[in-house]
Amino acid sequence: MTNLSILLQAAAGGDSWSGIIMMVVIIAIFYFFMIRPQQKRQKEIQKAREALKVGDKVITAGGIYGKIREIGDVYMTIEIANGVNIQVDKASIYASSEDAKQK
């Protein structure tokens, strides 16, 4: 017997099916209310990052506003002022500034 089955039997007073059903219900609740919405949100963010192109205005995770000048494999070059360019990781792009103004 595994530790899990011993704990389930002790908690259910010997009726192992009710303990197993409770565990399945708890896991389902966590999945549908926490894990699944987070995965959907991450997919939407990833799609938005992939749709960015040169010339789009963006906001970084650090709150820097700028315009995309170059897109590399893992980085983007952003112009934050005339002649001032910085390279940031693609994952640190928070949103396009047009999307942020609409919310």
Structure confidence by residue, pLDDT tens digits, 53-102? 999 999 998 999 999 999 998 999 999 999 999 999 998 988 776 655 54
Question: Using alpha carbons only, what angle is made at residue 103 by residues 83 and 75, rounded to the nearest 5 degrees?
Answer: 35
Domain boundaries, the chain: 1-51, 54-103
Among the listed residues 41, 72, 39, 27, the one whose alpha carbon sits nearest the alpha carbon of residue 54:
72
Question: For residues 76 and 89, what is the distance between their CA atoms, to the nearest angstrom?
Answer: 6
The CATH number of the domain covering residues in 54-103 = 2.30.30
Q: Is the pTM of this model over 0.85?
A: no
Structure tokens at 42: 């991450």
* Chain center to CA of 45: 7
Per-residue confidence (pLDDT) for residue 11, from 0 to 100: 58
Chain mean position to CA 31: 15
The 8-class DSSP code of residue 74 comes to: S
For 12-45, write each residue's pLDDT tens digit. Answer: 554 667 778 888 999 999 888 998 999 999 898 8
